């Protein structure tokens, strides 16, 4: 099916934006960051996954990145992810120093301090998208599913319990790998909802079209990201 005029315009814009990004010698600057729309930022994340899984990973000069770092930072997106060692955020999105704010906590949950960090990343530092990134085979999700209570983990895993409740109602009590991975997806959705509910700043920025809040689940076995509505 041939592309319509609007589709052609979007493809032209997207390809040009990706080319500008890939042509960088060092870090992202304020001009490029401010020129991006929220949809552009999400597209950059998605193209980063494509590059990282297809052997097309880019490379920027480390000396140039370090030199640019002294002048400030202009990340195009913020990622709220799990601490899991198998989910290296910058590698997943073929990102360099200065590209992304990365907030990591077990189970990629929305605690007050994490929300405050994302408010800073978007309202004050100019990032155009927030990605809540879960992953397959998540130990925090498995612990929440089992009802683990121990020290500070009790409160943290309690934030995953709404996803556990929804998933068990949908699929049953068995802690199979597929059920736990489904719970990871639901947990991403619950965290996205929590960001909007618990932060008037983030909800307002999204409503005004200034940021996008999106979700994804990283497959630790394949390197792919399944995008979550």
pLDDT, tens digit, for every residue of 69-121? 999 999 999 999 999 999 999 999 999 999 999 999 999 999 999 999 999 99
Q: The tokens of 69 are what?
A: 């770092």
Give the Cα-Cα-Cα angle 107, 113, 119 (nearest 5 degrees): 105
Q: What is the pTM of this model?
A: 0.93
For the stretch 35-62, pLDDT in tens is: 999 999 999 999 999 999 999 999 899 9
CATH 3.40.1050.10 applies to domain 5-228: yes
What are the boundaries of each domain within the chain? Answer: 5-228
- 64 neighbors 26 (Cβ within 8 angstroms): yes
| Residue 83 · residue 135 · CB < 8 Å | no
- Buried/exposed 188-203: b ≥16 CB within 10 Å, e otherwise: bbbbbebbeeebebbe
């Amino acid at each position: 099916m041939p592309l319509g005029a609007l589709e052609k315009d979007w493809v032209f814009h997207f390809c040009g934006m990706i080319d500008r990004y890939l042509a960088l010698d060092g870090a992202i600057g304020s001009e490029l960051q401010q020129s991006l729309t929220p949809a552009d930022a999400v597209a950059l994340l998605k193209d980063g996954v494509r590059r990282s899984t297809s052997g097309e990973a880019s490379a920027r000069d480390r000396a140039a990145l370090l030199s640019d770092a002294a002048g400030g930072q202009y990340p195009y997106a913020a990622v709220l992810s799990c601490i899991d060692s198998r989910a290296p955020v910058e590698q997943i999105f073929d990102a360099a120093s200065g590209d992304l704010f990365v907030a990591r906590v077990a189970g990629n949950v929305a605690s007050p301090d994490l929300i405050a960090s994302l408010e800073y990343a978007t309202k004050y530092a100019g990032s155009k998208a927030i990605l809540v990134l879960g992953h397959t085979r998540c130990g925090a999700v498995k612990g929440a599913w089992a009802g683990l209570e121990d020290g500070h983990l009790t409160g943290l895993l309690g934030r995953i319990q709404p996803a556990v409740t929804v998933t068990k109602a949908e699929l049953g009590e068995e802690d199979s790998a597929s059920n736990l991975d489904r719970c990871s997806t639901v947990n991403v959705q619950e965290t996205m909802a929590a960001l909007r509910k618990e932060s008037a700043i983030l909800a307002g920025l999204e409503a005004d079209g200034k940021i996008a809040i999106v979700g994804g689940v990283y497959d630790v076995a394949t390197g792919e990201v399944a995008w979550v509505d």
